Structure 1
Amino acid sequence: MKYQTELKDNLLFVRLEGDLVAGKDTQQMIEEVDGLQNRKLLLCAIDLSNVRFMDSSGMGVLVSLLTKFRNRGGELVLIKPSDHIRKLLIVTKLNAIFTIAENDEFAAQFLQESIY
């Protein structure tokens, strides 16, 4: 899995590409997000549009990140999961705990409104 992080107006955008499974890259991404969270960053959007496959460990990563942000009074949204990933979220009922945005603009708007 490849990933990129981008900060825009106190929002963290994490763009994932490839397969979201346990591995070195996934752990590195979690550590980077944790480091940014320690700087009082409360809002995160994870772009899943280029994720082809996700297993249970990938789902665990998403739930873990969501929990970390919410425990600090923040929020996390998922951006445009592929059809395959969207079906996994529905089957596992994770779609009930995640907000899903169709683009960066909706994600940013939702996140900004979520803390006020």
Structure 2
Amino acid sequence: MKLTYQTGKDDKAHYLYIKGDLIGDEVGPKLVEVVSDAIQEGAKTFVIDLSEVRYISSSGIGLLITMLTKMRNVDGEVYLTSPSDHVKKLLIITKLNNIFTVFDSIEDFRNQ
């Protein structure tokens, strides 16, 4: 399934809503650019909504880590929200659940 995405922001964070399979294809650099643009705007909090992501490849994992590294380099943070059970298992297997803070929903993030 081709990856599409939307962005948004409010007073708490910049948001990236990903839909499809996160496999680090030609959309990958654009996603990193979204984070870079947010940093340019002074963002310190970036939320990636995974509710519509069915599959993440190793390249997709690399993308997430690249985005996290970029944010942490400016003392920012990336949060993941709404992973499917399949994606949740992947985060646990790869130990990414220890690196990223994961929320069950965007509402949970906003209410923290």
Deviations 1:2-49 (A, max 9, x none): 000001115111000000012222221211221221121110110001
Gaps of 5+ in 1: 111-116
- Larger relative helix fraction: 1
Q: Unaligned stretches of 5+ in structure 2?
A: none
Q: Which amino acid in 1 is paired with 2:68?
A: L
Q: Is the Cα contact below 8 Å between 2:22 and 2:57 reproduced in 1?
A: yes
Determine the C-alpha separation between the residues in 2 that align with 1:6 and 1:58.
Answer: 21
SS of match in other structure, 1:22: coil
Identity of aligned residues (%): 40
The residue aligned with 1:84 is 86
What is the alpha-carbon distance in structure 2 between the residues aligned to residue 36 and residue 91 of structure 1? 29
* Partner Cα distance (1:33, 1:100) in 2: 18
Aligned mates of 1:85, 1:48 — CA distance in 2: 8
The counterpart of 1:69, out of the listed 64, 68, 71, is: 71
Equivalent pairs, count: 110
RMSD of aligned residue pairs (Cα, Å):
1.2
Question: Aligned with 1:48: secondary structure?
Answer: strand
* 1:78 shift after superposition: 0.4
Q: Distance in 2 between matches of 1:46 and 1:28?
A: 14
2:21 corresponds to 1:13: no
Query: Counterpart of 1:101?
Result: 103
- Could you say which residue in structure 2 is the equivalent of 1:114? none
Q: TM-score, normalised by structure 2?
A: 0.91
SS in 2 for 1:86: helix
TM-score (ref. length: structure 1): 0.88
Aligned to 2:35: 33
Runs of 4+ displaced beyond 4 Å: none
Correspondence 1:48-59 to 2 at 5 A? 48-59=50-61
Cα deviations by residue, 1:62-105 (Å, 9 ceiling, x for unpaired): 11111111111111110011111111111111111111111112
